[in-house]
Every structure is written in C-alpha cells, then in structure tokens.
C-alpha cells in the first residue's frame, strides 16, 4: 500500500498521540481513561480538525469497524480532497454506537464529512501497524520459546515452564479486559 503525502505526514502524528495517551508517568495503562476525557472535550477539539486532525481523530480510537480493507487501502493513497462522501465511505468503515454519537457532532461542522474519512483512515492505518507489530512480537516470542526448548538438555520444564503460559494468558486476559472485552472464566 502506498500512502498519500497527507497520510504519510499525519499517520505518525496520530500514532504518537495514541502513544502519549497510553500510559501515565508510572507506566500504568491509562488509555481508556484519557480517551474518555478527550471524548468529553469534543466541542473544543472540533476546532482542531483542520490544523491538527490527529488531536480530534483519537476520540474515535477503536470506534471504527473496517468492512473493506481494500477500500481503506485505496483511501490511504488519496489526498483528502479526493475522498468520497462520508455516507459512501461508511459502507467500508462503520462506527460502533458510542462513536456514532461523536460523529454526529463532528458532522455538524463544515468539513466534518471529510474529517470523518480522515479519522477512519488514520485509525485504519494505526490498527494495521498494531496488528503487524503484534504478529512480529508473537513470532519473536515463538522463536524465543523454541530457543529455550532447544537449550533445555534434560527436558524437564519444571515450575517455571509451567507458569510461563499461565502468566502470558493472564496478561493477555488483563489487556483484553482493559480494552473493554469480558473475561473468559
């Protein structure tokens, strides 16, 4: 996929904005709390949609469901002045209910339709990076595990080998819970 100049410039800024919201000074994950705060400031943030779109776009983080990755790839290669209407685009990028309410506010503004398309593409690009980064991390983890298995001469996994998958599973469950998913019991 080839990014337009617009998205080549703005996608890293969007990623940085998400990363800034991710954790506090103690390293705790506070993304959801900070996103709620940002969403409460939407009336102020809409003033930034042209000059700093990433500042407003983050309120839609995790609010899109992408039904047509091909269409989103095409949009990422376009400059925003060539985008179709939001109504046409909404078939490729649907909003979850809470995000629909925010979108209604943004769409009241001049340029709101264009901005919603920009926000969708920024979130799409961010989610692609997260997915590819997660896949790379899993590949590295699998390789580390294979190396550890190959290094173990006596074949005895001991308590440490038994607790590692459980800790990873717990960490994964904690992360999913932070993202709003229910825990599996």
Fill in the DSSP letter of residue 179: T
Fill in the DSSP letter of residue 59: G
Q: Do residues 49 and 106 share a domain? A: yes
Task: Kindly state whether residue 142 falls inside one of the protein's structural domains.
Answer: no
Per-residue tokens: 83:
């985008």
Task: Give bridge partners of residue 184 from the DSSP assignment.
Answer: none
Global pTM exceeds 0.95: no
Task: Kindly state whether residue 144 falls inside one of the protein's structural domains.
Answer: no
Q: Do residues 126 and 157 share a domain? A: no
Number of domain units in the chain = 2
Q: Is it the case that residue 33 has pLDDT exceeding 50?
A: yes
Q: What is the pLDDT of residues 115-153, one digit of tens each?
A: 999 999 999 999 987 544 443 444 444 444 444 454 444
Q: Do residues 125 and 159 share a domain? A: no
Q: Which domain holds residue 171?
A: 152-185
CA–CA distance, 11 with 119 (Å, rounded to integer): 10
Least confident piece of the model among 22-26, 46-50, 99-103: 22-26
Q: Which residues contact 111 (CB under 8 A, 6 or more apart)?
A: 49, 50
Q: Do residues 109 and 167 share a domain? A: no
Task: Kindly state whether residue 147 falls inside one of the protein's structural domains.
Answer: no
Task: Kindly state whether residue 138 falls inside one of the protein's structural domains.
Answer: no
Collapsed DSSP state (helix, strand, coil) of residue 165: helix
């Amino acid at each position: 996929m080839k990014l337009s100049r617009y998205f080549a410039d703005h996608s890293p800024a969007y990623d940085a904005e998400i990363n800034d919201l991710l954790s506090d000074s103690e390293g705790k994950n506070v993304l959801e709390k900070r996103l709620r705060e940002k969403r409460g400031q939407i009336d102020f943030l809409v003033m930034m949609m042209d000059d700093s779109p990433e500042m407003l776009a983050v309120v839609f983080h995790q609010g899109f469901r992408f039904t047509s990755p091909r269409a989103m790839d095409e949009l990422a290669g376009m400059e925003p002045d060539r985008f179709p209407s939001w109504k046409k685009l909404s078939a490729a990028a649907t909003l979850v209910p809470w995000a629909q309410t925010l979108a209604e506010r943004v769409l009241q503004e001049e340029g709101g339709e264009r901005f919603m398309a920009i926000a969708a593409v920024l979130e799409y690009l961010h989610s692609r990076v997260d997915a590819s980064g997660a896949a790379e991390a899993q590949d590295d983890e699998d390789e580390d595990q294979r190396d550890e298995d190959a290094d173990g001469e006596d074949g005895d996994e001991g308590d440490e080998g038994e607790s590692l998958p459980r800790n990873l599973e717990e960490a994964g469950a904690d992360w999913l819970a932070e993202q709003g998913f229910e825990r599996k019991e």
